[in-house]
Chains A and B, each alone.
Chain A
Amino acid sequence: MDEFILIFRHQDGSKIASPEQMQTWMKQTMDWIGGIASQNKYIGGNGLPLDNARVVRHNKIVTNGPFGEIKETLGGYIIVKAESIDEAVEFAKDCPILQGEGNTVEVRKIAKGDGTH
């Protein structure tokens, strides 16, 4: 069993959603995570609020961001257990953020730290 991180990217993080929409997403996300947890495959995760974010650049230049220059924003991530990348991808397919056109979920295996990857 390996660990995989599912990284949520939003096409346009500055887009404002209605409170009702946000409520629906939140519930869908909770049910999605609950479904993974009920298979004993959930390890952890976090949302990454978009407000008050900073980007630190070469030469220690700090900008508000990451909006403006790049369209895609990191919205959050979860870490799951899976037998294979394919199983992790199956989890990702049900991620509610994919209802937004242009949003993506990137699936990456987490290095085990034992030198084998």
Chain B
Amino acid sequence: MGAKLSCMEQQELIPHLFRTEYRKVVSVLCKRFGFAEIEVAEDIASETFITAAQTWGIKGIPPNPIAWLYNVAKNKAKNYLHRELLFDGKVAAEIRNNLAEDYELEIDLSPQNINDSQLQMMFVICHPSIAPEAQVGLSLRILCGFGIDEIAEAFLSNKETINKRLFRAKEKLREGNIKIELPTLAEIDERLDVVLTTIYLLFNEGYYSVNKSQTIRKDLCLEAMRLCYMLIENKNTNKPHVNALMALMCFHTSRFEARIGINGEHILYEEQDISLWNADLISKGGYFLNCAAIGDRLTKYHLEATIAFWSTQQADTNEKWENVLQLYNRLLQIEYSPVAALNRTFAFSKAIGKDEAIIVAEKLNLIDNQFYFTLLGELYTGINKVKAKLNFEKALFIAKNQPDKQSIQKKIDHL
């Protein structure tokens, strides 16, 4: 950790620590205090970071910033517990002494307790009594240390709406008296699906978002992987589809460095510098995909992970595209998405031919999707120049960000 921190830009240290440590402090404190006092836990964690920013600004960054944060958080938590005790004592003076003796003030920030608390917290936040968007919102806030404005941005919403949504979700969990613990073995499968969806959304937020800095986005991807790995490490949650999701994220992240150019532009798969692909992550992905290949449940994570595996195979073989096509055929039957429909059509053109793919593509009718028209443009390229240009121009009209516009313009120029 030390080496990683020392080479990081100083001004990114606190945001980075916030994303990795905030949730640990909140989870441990919240488990200690009970979910009813989640806001207290959040406040103590936030205050810890404010104290850090002030102190480090004056005295410099301590040799072990994480230990420093834990220490401060611990002291703030103890003070809080102490104040509570005093208050209780005034109300019920006769039990005050007993309480003070029995009440363990120690805050356990050991790696084991941090891991357990986070895992349990994940299940609390992804509780079925609150709506999926609230689950994701709370996860972003508590498990990933996102600011309210960042969450608003991720949901294309505003701060007030998000604040209200998170507040209501917390109220609901409080009212339901949700315990911070792992679900029973009977419940775990159903509950796990929601947790995986949240991790998946979190990862996508990092992998596909165009508005965030490269560092933040990579942190998000790594955080999602870390959360998923916690599930793999626990024998009750180490299920085949959890491994499939992990494999998917490893394969995708292996191309993280290769897919963004120096100017922040998106580099297409075929144009990526393969030497920038991370071989270690590719082999880890292979390992988790093997672990996923047991049981009788074929989930979308299995299919997407296998597709992602084929993406790490650079050879442009018919075998590859035929496999990818069939995987997308299955995936679309489980869950439709415009992205999957477009990728399926691309694989179709590679496996079967452009002429046939044009017929299929024209039926998709995704008329507000820039990538749809980019794909049509690509398919018509070399077959019908007028239609290729027309489609690229439609894509250009819809495209919002500059790098995308430039890459479409390049395609028009090359016609």
- Are A and B associated in one complex? yes
Annotate A26-42 by CB proximity to B: 1 below 8 A, 0 otherwise. 01001101110111101
In contact, B363 and A33 (Cβ under 8 angstroms): no
With A31-B348, A33-B333: A38-B326 Cβ-Cβ less than 8 Å: no
B365 at interface by CB-CB < 8 Å = yes
Contact A39 B348 (CB under 8 A): no
Known: A30-B326, A40-B341. A35 touches B360 (CB 8 A): yes
**With A30-B326, A31-B325, A31-B348 in contact, is A37–B333 under 8 Å at CB?**
yes
**B203 interface residue per 8 A CB criterion:** no
B364: chain A residues at CB < 8 Å are 38-39
List chain B residues, Cβ under 8 A from A37: 329, 332-333, 336, 341
Q: Is B301 an interface residue (CB 8 A)?
A: no
Whether B365 contacts A33 by the Cβ 8 Å rule is no
Tell me whether B170 is interfacial, beta carbon within 8 Å.
Answer: no
- B328 touches A (CB below 8 Å): yes
Question: For residue A34, which residue of chain B has the nearest CB?
Answer: B329
Interface string of B339-381 (1 = CB under 8 A from A): 0110011001000100000001001110000000000000000
Q: Which residues of B contact A40 (CB under 8 A)?
A: 336, 341
- Chain A residue nearest to B333 in the complex (CB): A37
Instruction: Flag if A39 contacts B341 (CB, 8 Å).
Output: yes
Q: Chain A: interface residue count, which band?
A: 10 to 19
Q: How far is the CB of B308 from chain A (nearest CB, A)?
A: 18
**A42-B341 in contact given A31-B325, A34-B328, A35-B363 (Cβ < 8 Å):** no
Q: Which A residues from 10 to 54 make CB contacts under 8 A with B? A: 27, 30-31, 33-35, 37-40, 42, 44
Please report the C-alpha to C-alpha distance between residue A44 and residue B336 in the assembled complex, in whole angstroms: 12
CB atoms of B365 and A38 under 8 A apart = no
Q: Please tell me if the beta carbons of B363 and A31 are within 8 angstroms of each other in the complex.
A: no
Task: Name which residue of chain A comes closest to B342, CB basis.
Answer: A38
Bound: A44/B348 CA distance, A? 21
Roughly how many angstroms separate A85 CA and B328 CA in the complex, as a whole number? 27
Do B332 and A42 have beta carbons less than 8 Å apart? yes
B345 and A38 contacting across the interface, CB-CB below 8 Å: yes
**Minimum CB–CB distance for B357 against chain A, Å:** 10
Contact residues in A for B336 (Cβ distance below 8 Å): 37-38, 40, 42
Which B residues from 285 to 325 make CB contacts under 8 A with A?
A: 325
Docked pose: A36 CA to B365 CA in angstroms: 12
Contacts of A27 in B (CB 8 A): 326
Q: Do A30 and B329 touch across chains, with their CB atoms under 8 A apart?
A: yes
| CB-defined contacts of B330 to chain A, threshold 8 Å | 30, 34
A33 and B341 contact, Cβ closer than 8 Å, known pairs A38-B360, A39-B364: no
User: Which residue on chain A has the smallest CB distance to residue B338?
Assistant: A40
**How far, in angstroms, from A34 to B352 measured CA to CA in the complex?**
14
B325 touches A38 (CB 8 A): no
- Residues in B whose Cβ lies below 8 Å from that of A39: 341, 363-365
A92 CA to B341 CA in the complex, in Å?
A: 20
Report the minimum CB–CB distance from B199 to chain A (whole Å).
Answer: 25
Instruction: With A34-B329, A35-B360, A38-B344 given, name 13 new contacts (CB 8 A).
Output: A31-B325, A31-B348, A33-B329, A34-B325, A34-B330, A34-B348, A37-B329, A37-B332, A38-B345, A38-B360, A39-B363, A42-B333, A44-B333
**Chain A positions near chain B (C-beta within 8 angstroms):** 27, 30-31, 33-35, 37-40, 42, 44
Q: List 30 A-B contacts (CB under 8 A).
A: A27-B326, A30-B326, A30-B329, A30-B330, A31-B329, A31-B348, A31-B352, A33-B329, A33-B333, A34-B325, A34-B332, A34-B333, A34-B344, A34-B348, A35-B363, A37-B329, A37-B332, A37-B333, A37-B341, A38-B328, A38-B332, A38-B336, A38-B340, A38-B344, A38-B364, A39-B341, A39-B363, A39-B364, A42-B332, A42-B336
Nearest 9 Cβ contacts at the A-B interface: A34-B329, A37-B332, A38-B341, A40-B336, A30-B329, A37-B333, A38-B344, A38-B332, A35-B360
